[in-house]
Amino acid sequence: MTGLRIAMIGPFGLRPKGTMAARALPMAGALAARGHAVTLILPPWSCPEDAGHTWEQYGVTVQNITLPRPVPLAAHAIVTARLVRQALDWRPDVIHCFKPKAYAGLAAWVVFWLRRAGRSQARLVIDTDDWEGPGGWNEVEDYSWAQRRFFAWQEPWGLTHCDAVTVASRALETLVWGLGVPREHLFYVPNGFSPMFRVAGPEPGGNSTIGQGDRLKVRRELGLGEAPVLLLYTRFVEFRPERPVAVLRQVLQQLPETRLLVVGQGLHGEEAELLCAAEMAGVRDHVVEAGWIPAETLERVFAACDVAIYPFDDTLINRAKCAVKLIDLMAAGVPVVADAVGQNVEFIQSGHSGILVPPGDVDAMAAAVLGLLRGPAVARASLGQAAARRVRETFAWERLVFEVERAYGHHV
């Protein structure tokens, strides 16, 4: 069969939120590499400087619609109309809307009724990588009452009024199935690895491209010295800030020179809460805050660390998501100790490509970290290399894309 024409519609731009850059774009790139023509159509309200600009990236056309003046309600209608018009002008075989909410959900609603009216024959596919409903983001985000009510309606409506649903996690697979979506219309497509988009790390079975000299240079730049370094790479939304501090405190009892390197920024200044917790626990001097680091620099910083922790509270939001940052750590060959929650269990084979501990168990996480830090460096390296192999081989986008094609009804 010939390649498909695919229009992907997002709820926001490529920056700073992650769904379109970390999920839709690499998925689109893998589809383009398979001979399909793909365009991303975005409403870049989160990065308005991109409005009206179009470019080619990894074989994919990225179109950012122009944004209207912020007139209540009218602006939302105009944005939705522009997304749908640009998608239909592409004359797609498939329209894939990322998230069944906000602008992407509104676009899916319009496309659904246009198809009912005979105005489009495109296959309508919805992607979900988070849960908004009860126990989900609706209860966490600072939405208005009206927004919560609207999203609570929009999510199940969109997921049940399309030809197929792609889900990023096993938990979402179960939740969407529970809405009455037929099993044959559900397609499990977790977030994956692509060297074009994510931290590259070591080749399978090989060594990192970061040399010992560069590792020591990064350590000096960050003020880490030669102490054991524990990495926390995060946006701070998956755990209570006291948890990594409690792990560090236990590790320090046996390895008193250890440093906790915190890479990333919170959505609402949560890094300040972590530092406050460290101050109260008397371990503030052992915490190094690096803040947000550009993606092209991450591999060097990761290589300067010995072990990463990935605390993941056992919540519905965490069970439903598929953490791209965990993929980054594994792809970079960093040995990871993570809570056994949700997709973490799918990615990490405990004892082989990382270590899983019971959710919320500070003692178990600290013990696992100590076991790695006090053990031989070759054992840590072996664990990290196995993690990189697993991500590259099992969760490579070039493999996951076959399930996306199945969702599109495309048969080779």
Domain ranges of the chain: 5-192+397-407, 212-394
- Assess contact for 357 and 247: CB atoms under 8 A: no
DSSP line for 339-407: E--TTHHHH--BTTTBEEE-TT-HHHHHHHHHHHHHS-HHHHHHHHHHHHHHHHHHSBHHHHHHHHHHH
CATH topology of domain 212-394: Rossmann fold (3.40.50)
Does this chain's domain 5-192+397-407 share its CATH topology with 212-394?
Answer: yes
Mean pLDDT, each 10-residue run in order, the chain (412 residues): 91 86 95 97 93 95 94 92 97 97 97 96 97 88 90 96 98 97 97 73 50 77 88 92 96 96 85 93 94 85 95 96 95 96 97 97 98 95 96 95 95 56
Helix (H, G, I), strand (E, B) or coil at 286: helix
Tell me the C-alpha distance between 299 and 329, whole Å: 9
Residue 293 carries which DSSP code? -
Tell me which amino acid residue 298 is: L
pLDDT tens-place string over residues 274-319: 999 999 999 999 999 998 888 878 888 999 999 999 999 999 999 9
Give residue-wise pLDDT tens across range 115-143.
Answer: 999 999 999 999 999 999 888 999 888 88
Architecture per CATH, 5-192+397-407: 3-Layer(aba) Sandwich (3.40)
Q: Please give the single-letter amino acid code of residue 233.
A: Y
Q: How far apart are CA 345 and CA 349, in angstroms?
A: 7
